[in-house]
Amino acid sequence: MSSVLSRHATDAALDNDPALRVRKKRWRRPSVLALITLAYIAWSLLPVVIAVLFSFNSGRSRTEWTGFSLRWYFTDPERSVWHDPSMHTALIHTMRLGIIVTVITIPLGVLLALGLDRWRGRLPQGVSFLVLMSFVLPEVLLAVALLFVATTLNTPMQLGMVGQVLALVTFQLSYPVIIVRGRMLAIGPQYEQAAVDLGASRWGAVWRVLIPMLMPAIFASTVLVFADVIDNFVLVRYLSGDASTEPVSVKIYNTARAAPTPALNALATLVLIASLLVVTLGFVAYKWFSRGEKGVGVQSFAAEL
């Protein structure tokens, strides 16, 4: 009761004292934090904006602007992304890797999350620990280990598309597992239990009740896995075979210091556009499957990611 009275007294004092109101208003506006945030955003996005801008440069320079042109995308008959066979191959290979790894990883991750949620004992605890270990395990260590498996041991894993897919699935599997399990903890078991009480089978309750409620987390996992795969460098570089299995990240790395042209900027811009398109589609799907829930928006979508 005393705290309520003191709060009312403070509000009354603020109403009667303009100086106190101004100071309280200034306190509620963290100008320094806002300035740091804007500086961080500018520092992060400015190099990307410059790289994208010079992908439309009409000249060969990547530092001196000479005019707007689509030369490095498709109009140059030799050096554009569309006409350069090596860049064309790298872009197609990157998209193939993203699609194949995502199609394999998401169902496996969802099934593993369901299994770990229902499985009790030391073995599932060990599996959960291994899933979490992927976040602290250095990616280069995993790449070297899988390179040893592909080149030394007698296994079906080989350098090239097969090795890259297996490596990326191994590395990316933890993302859908953790995101989906977090969503399952937020949902709780009561909806499945209610469906079973109403006559549904265990599998029917999972398929018709739980899976639709997990769709926001599944789409968030899809966006994260696809975007991370097409940007991956370490795993795909160690496990690439010939030039036909070099994705965009490796292609840019190999040619960035050998008299590069703005065609590399155009190639990176196309990958950026693909990432933004996937994120947009994922957000739209997230909004669709989360309709009716309170507080659904960009912040909740970012929280799922």
8 Å CB contact between 301 and 283: yes
Please tell me whether residues 49 and 111 are part of one structural domain: no
Q: Quick one: tokens of 134?
A: 């992927």
Q: Quick one: tokens of 16?
A: 């009667």
Which pTM value belongs to this model?
0.78
DSSP letters, 107-142, are HHHHHHHHHHHH--SHHHHHHHHHHHHTTTS-HHHH
Residue 287 has a pLDDT of 77
**Inter-helix orientation angle 85-118/263-289, to 10°:** 30
Most confidently modeled of 8-22, 85-99, 184-198? 85-99
Please tell me whether residues 8 and 114 are part of one structural domain: no
CATH code of the domain in which 222 resides = 1.10.3720.10
pLDDT at 284 over 90: no
8 Å CB contact between 209 and 195: yes
Please tell me whether residues 129 and 184 are part of one structural domain: yes
Please tell me whether residues 24 and 102 are part of one structural domain: no
Measure CA 212 to chain center: 22
8 Å CB contact between 252 and 75: no
What values do phi and psi take at 57, rounded to 5? -75, 140
Counted domains in the chain: 2
Please tell me whether residues 47 and 99 are part of one structural domain: no
Please tell me whether residues 97 and 178 are part of one structural domain: yes
Please tell me whether residues 224 and 159 are part of one structural domain: yes
Assess if residue 62 is contained within a domain.
no
Give the up-direction half-sphere exposure of residue 109: CA atoms within 13 A in the CB hemisphere. 31
Please tell me whether residues 107 and 45 are part of one structural domain: no
Single out the residue in 38, 54, 70 at which a domain terminates: 54
Assess if residue 49 is contained within a domain.
yes
Measure CA 279 to chain center: 8
Please tell me whether residues 35 and 89 are part of one structural domain: no
Structural domain of 18: 2-54
H or E stretch covering 191: helix 190-197
Assess if residue 69 is contained within a domain.
no
Vertex 170: Cα angle to 227 and 136 (nearest 5): 80
Please tell me whether residues 46 and 97 are part of one structural domain: no
Assess if residue 157 is contained within a domain.
yes
Please tell me whether residues 145 and 229 are part of one structural domain: yes
Assess if residue 71 is contained within a domain.
no
Measure CA 257 to chain center: 28
Assess if residue 173 is contained within a domain.
yes
Assess if residue 70 is contained within a domain.
no
Q: Dump pLDDT digits (tens) for 56-102.
A: 988 888 778 888 888 888 888 888 888 888 888 888 999 999 999 99
Single out the residue in 54, 74, 97 at which a domain terminates: 54
pLDDT at 225 over 80: yes
pLDDT at 295 over 60: no
Tally DSSP H helices, then E strands, for the chain.
15, 0
Assess if residue 185 is contained within a domain.
yes
pLDDT at 285 over 60: yes
8 Å CB contact between 183 and 217: yes
Please tell me whether residues 242 and 181 are part of one structural domain: yes
Residue 244 has a pLDDT of 82
Single out the residue in 16, 38, 54 at which a domain terminates: 54
Give the C-alpha separation, 254 to 91, whole Å.
14
Give the C-alpha separation, 173 to 44, whole Å.
28
